[in-house]
Amino acid sequence: MTNQKQKAFQYVDDHCAEMVSLWKEVVTMEGGPHEKEGINQVAARFKKILDGEGATFRTIEFETAGSMLIGEIGKNHSKPGVIFMGHMDTAIPAGAIAERPFTIENGKAYGPGVLDMKGGIVAALYAIKALKSIGYDSRSIKVLLAGDEEVLHANSNAPEIFMEEAKGYGAAFNMETGFVDDGIVVGRKGVARIRMEIKGIAAHAGNDPENGRSAILEMAHKIIDVQNLTDCKKGIRFNVGVMQGGTTSTAVPDYAKIFIDVRYKEPDDLPEIMKRIEDVGNKIYIEGTATTVTFMDGIKPMKTTEGVKELFEVVKKAYEENGFGTPYAKTVGGGSDSAYTVLAGVPTVCAMGVKGGRNHSPEEYAIVESLFERAKLLVACVLKLDNI
């Protein structure tokens, strides 16, 4: 087995330039949160790579979201298969590539989505190619790539697809952003996005203020109420991140709205979270105003199950045995699709992608050497699963 592993590692070493070339190619494709055509172009490029490895495919298309790519190599194995998963869209709006093209400086790669998470997907694809190069066929390998994760699947049913496709598999590796301190994510908070709107009564601020009902003033009270819902003991945090309202300073505003971000640990907490926000909405400070609360979208929490813990130990051993460092189990506040494979009963580890920092910002970077290291790590993990 060690000899086979070294041959697979050598495959990665022999294809480093090719990996970087593919990385650059897909980063250069527009994959912003609303760039359906560009995301589908990325999907087509990844499909071509997998097609060369004999994968069977299904592409699920959505009217207003990037496609979801499902590929599978090998079937009818006695051992449960493994999943490599991720998302092809980025959080960076269109046009950023022209301003910040893919570049490498001092061992770091820069560009929109270079870290989150096109580099991780490239690493996974070359782990598959390396495994195929040594004739690996102990388990089927399924690739699940979403096209709209950065907008929390607002325009698709990707969460249901993840859960359905993952059923019966033995392990899942999410190629999300890797951490420079070697943290491997075993738990994530869920995310809920909620809109609160207030309608008031417009009036001239100088001549007729007594007949106005300020939507902004009503909202000001409710922003404080929403923020005060935070429950640190239960790991639930509320954040009013956007406020909009009014048209001119000379008028009593008749409309205001806020967008609320909620992070929570337990999937079953969401109904109570919604009730608390609705209670805030139902409380009236300024008579004559009316409030509406709307759940927009979200991602469920990734639970740290016993299976997740056991898979982390596999990753940890593979990490240490191959000189990649000493990883530790990490729980974070950001959501990911790992939640859905865990809900499907599949042990899952997250943040297995290239290492770097500053994702979702103009300074986003990835450590180039980690592209090759993570491909090898995946190879080592899959081979180690066969020995436990």
Could you say which of 72, 89, 197, 218 is catalytic?
89
Residue 147, SS3?
Answer: coil
Give which of 205, 200, 198 is closest to 251, Cα–Cα: 205
- Residue 233 backbone dihedrals phi, psi, to 5 degrees: -65, -35
Residue 18 appears among annotated catalytic residues: no
Q: Which residue has the tokens 């436990």?
A: 388
Contact between residue 32 and residue 92 where contact means Cβ atoms under 8 Å apart? yes
> Helices 16-28 and 36-51, interaxial angle, to 10°?
160
Residue 40, SS3?
Answer: helix
Give which of 337, 332, 363 is closest to 348, Cα–Cα: 337
Residue 141, SS3?
Answer: strand
Residue 156, SS3?
Answer: coil
Could you say which of 149, 218, 364, 373 is catalytic?
149
CA 143 to chain centre: 15
Contact between residue 50 and residue 143 where contact means Cβ atoms under 8 Å apart? yes
Give which of 365, 202, 219 is closest to 286, Cα–Cα: 219
Residue 155, SS3?
Answer: coil
**Cα three-residue angle 37-43-45, rounded to 5 degrees:** 105
Residue 149 appears among annotated catalytic residues: yes
Catalytically active residues are: 89, 149
